């Protein structure tokens, strides 16, 4: 076997735990775990909660729009929407009036469930950012957007 030159890291790091990607994944996993626990008390999953949030802001989104906005596949979005519809939290027509998209809307029960769950989710976010200096938060958000854009998101 031939000798290979080591690949230099993108920035100085002692080990994998000092890489930005590792830290982002660790934070993402911690956030998801905390949200899973909190939303379970409201009978929701993280993707279901995300759909409700998007629909509250933009009523009438399609399955494709919701899939993109919640970072899941269209097939997964269909499963999420089916669960929300069966729980009486959304309405979705059986057929489209125009084109193929079926617009999704919150029901009053969906809006009520969202508002109850939102407090729990916002408390988690507050815990997560509570130790970040307020004057650094805007820069952190901008840096995260810059990283996502650099990867083509």
Q: How confident is the model at residue 88 (pLDDT cuts 50, 70, 90)?
A: very high
141, 142, 149, 151, 152 from 145: Cα distances, Å? 6, 5, 6, 10, 11
Residue 1 confidence (pLDDT) above 80 = no
pLDDT tens digits for range 110-149? 999 999 999 999 999 999 999 999 989 999 999 999 999 9
Per-residue pLDDT at 99: 59
Question: According to CATH, what is the number of the domain 43-150?
Answer: 1.10.10.10
H/E stretch holding 79: helix 74-86
Q: How confident is the model at residue 105 (pLDDT cuts 50, 70, 90)?
A: very high
Per-residue pLDDT at 17: 82
Q: What percent of the chain is modeled with pLDDT above 70? A: 93
Domain boundaries, the chain: 43-150
Residue 86 confidence (pLDDT) above 70 = yes
Q: How confident is the model at residue 60 (pLDDT cuts 50, 70, 90)?
A: very high
Place of tokens 């890489």: 19
């Amino acid at each position: 076997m031939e000798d290979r030159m080591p690949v230099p890291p993108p920035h100085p790091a002692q080990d994998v735990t000092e890489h930005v990607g590792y830290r982002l994944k660790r934070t993402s996993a911690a956030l998801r775990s905390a949200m899973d626990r909190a939303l379970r008390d409201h009978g929701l999953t993280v993707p279901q909660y995300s759909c409700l949030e998007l629909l509250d802001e933009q009523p009438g989104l399609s399955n494709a729009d919701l899939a993109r906005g919640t970072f899941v596949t269209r097939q997964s979005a269909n499963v999420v929407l089916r669960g929300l519809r069966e729980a009486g939290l959304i309405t979705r027509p059986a057929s489209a009036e125009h084109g193929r998209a079926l617009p999704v809307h919150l029901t009053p029960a969906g809006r009520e469930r969202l508002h109850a769950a939102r407090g729990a989710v916002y408390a988690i976010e507050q815990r997560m950012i509570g130790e970040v200096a307020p004057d650094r938060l805007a820069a952190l958000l901008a840096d995260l957007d810059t990283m996502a854009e650099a990867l083509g998101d």
